[in-house]
Structure 1
Amino acid sequence: MRRDAVELERFYHSPRGETAEAMIWRRISVLWPDMRDLDVLGLGFAPPLLDRFGDQPRRSVAFMPGPQGAIIWPGGEAKSRTALGDECRLPFPDALFDRVVLLHALEEVDSIPAFLREVWRITAPQGRVALIVPNRSGLWARGDATPFGHGRPFSKSQLQDVLADSAFEATAWSRALYAPPFTWCCKGARGEFWEATGEKLFSRLSGLILVEAVKRVAALTPRAARAKEIRIRGLEGAGARTVSRGGKPASRTSRTDNP
């Protein structure tokens, strides 16, 4: 069951949420240092990161799935740029966005292939997608006190398979959020201390995995298929034979009928 958008907003105003946002932003700002004149879409619950981009993008939109609900973003007197709907039927034209951020998105969807097909469709050719997901080996995925403990966590190899099946190619990998998911560990400079220590001593135990992927538009290479022999019963008046998956005879057993 998805966390409500109001709960997610409340989390990002807590010490743990502020630390998570800061550690994610450290990686995103390195990947995408210049967002000027780009169209940006945030999927799931991405306002904390969209706020960090400021006024650089030409257009920024926050799309939130119906079961999660939505908050008004940005707040204040600015016009709302929040959309609410079906994440597997995004209400945007093809190839519209140059950058897409997925936060609290991939681990919560009912159908990953259908969702990523839509993400592929609305991403511009050679557009970039940033996927931020809970790490299966990390502490943050092992408890439900934070949003990262809900939905399905991922390993790096699982993410690689997901991207390969969705016509995206990974271009950069990173990890973030090494502080244990306790409030006292995330207050003030403690989060930065855990981050620096974790990167050096236990890099695979990060709370989050981040991957940047590019939309592939060239001809796709299908996965290699291995022929498998299947023995079938011979037709009437013919001997039993073994055929490969492609349908070509592999061997034949002759039979002599008694007169």
Structure 2
Amino acid sequence: MHLDVHSLRDFYYRSALGRAAQRAVRDQVLRYWPDCKGQTVVGYGFAVPLLRPYLREARRVVGLMPAPQGVMPWPQAMPNVTALCEETMWPLETGHVDRLVLMHGLETSERPSEVLEECYRVLGPGGEVLFIVPNRSGLWARSDNTPFGFGRPYSLSQLDSQLRQYDFVRQSHVSVLYQPPSPRRFWMRTGPMWENIGRAIPAVVAGGVLIVRAAKRYPPQRKGLGDRVRVPSPLEVLAPVPKKEPKAI
């Protein structure tokens, strides 16, 4: 079940814990993709907090938000780049996305298989996708104080298995959000320290969020995966249907 877009907005932009989470996840995204100049960057779910660094140099930035979640205009005081879409029918051309990031779009979906099919369809040659999901072993998946406490948490093996079924190959993975999901002042002040410790010795404590970087397998093993979607021309839709000639008796 998707969370409401206003609840997500309030967490990431109006709470100290949400801003800390946004910063930790976005920093890791930038480590993977430091430069997207001239590329098409797309976020699905509620990934817009991670897209701001790419607004200036990317060829195109799009924030897709699923209909059950709702949509909000973003970024503030700039031309809007967000759009409401069906979970299984994204308004994007096949094979035209260079960088795709999902956050709060997979674990909350009731149709994750079809979401992965859309990911495969829109991703272009050489493209990469980041799947950001709650870690089954982490504290954030067990707390209702954050959006990562809703939906289906994943272990790395579970997510890896699901991605392989839809012809994605994992390139690398990392965990983030090692600080406890608490707004208490002590944890907020020591948050950066916990992130540094977690990255240095991840075996000591489980991060709250998994980030998996993946690419498409060529050729796809699933029949029909990645097929081009054709949108009928408006002129074709309005064209009269030809009348059938009566059969001779």
- TM-score for the superposition, normalised by structure 2: 0.84
Aligned CA distance change for structure 1 residues 202 and 56 (closer, same or farther; 3 Å) = same
C-alpha RMSD of matched pairs (Å) = 1.7
Equivalent residues of 1:19, 1:186 under 8 A apart: no
Write the letter of the residue equivalent to 2:192.
Answer: E
Counterpart in 1 of 2:19?
Answer: 18
Distance 2:202 2:133 in 1: 21
* Residue matched to 1:132: 132
Looking at CA atoms only, which structure, 1 or 2, has the larger radius of gyration?
1
Determine the structure 2 residue equivalent to 1:174. 174
The equivalent residue for 1:102 is: 102
Residue of structure 1 in register with 2:144 after alignment? 144
Aligned partners of 1:125 and 1:216 also within 8 Å = no
Question: Which range moves more in the overlay, 132-141 or 8-17?
Answer: 8-17
Which runs of 5 or more residues in structure 1 are unaligned? 223-259
Q: Give CA-to-partner distance per residue, 1:81-105, whole Å, 9 cap, x none.
A: 1110211111111011100010111
Distance 1:80 1:194, change over 3 A: same
- Identical columns (%): 39
> Is the Cα contact below 8 Å between 2:166 and 2:222 reproduced in 1?
no
Q: What count of residue pairs does the alignment treat as equivalent?
A: 220
- Give yes or no for the alignment of 1:44 onto 2:45: yes
Match of 1:61 in 2: 62
Query: Matches of residues 1-259 of structure 1 in structure 2 within 5 Å?
Result: 1-13=1-13, 14-76=15-77, 78-184=78-184, 185-188=186-189, 190-199=190-199, 200=201, 202-203=203-204, 205-218=206-219, 220=221
Q: 1:195-224, CA deviations, whole angstroms, 9 ceiling, x for partnerless residues?
A: 1223326455110000100112225399xx
- What is the SS of the residue equivalent to 1:197? helix
3-state SS in 1 of match to 2:198: helix
TM value normalised by structure 1: 0.81
- Kept in 2, the 8 Å contact 1:139–1:207? The answer is yes
Gap runs ≥5 in structure 2: 224-249
Give CA deviations for 1:124-178 in whole Å, capped at 9, x if unaligned: 0221000110000000001211100000000000011011001110101111000
Match of 1:187, SS? helix
Counterpart residue number, 1:225: none
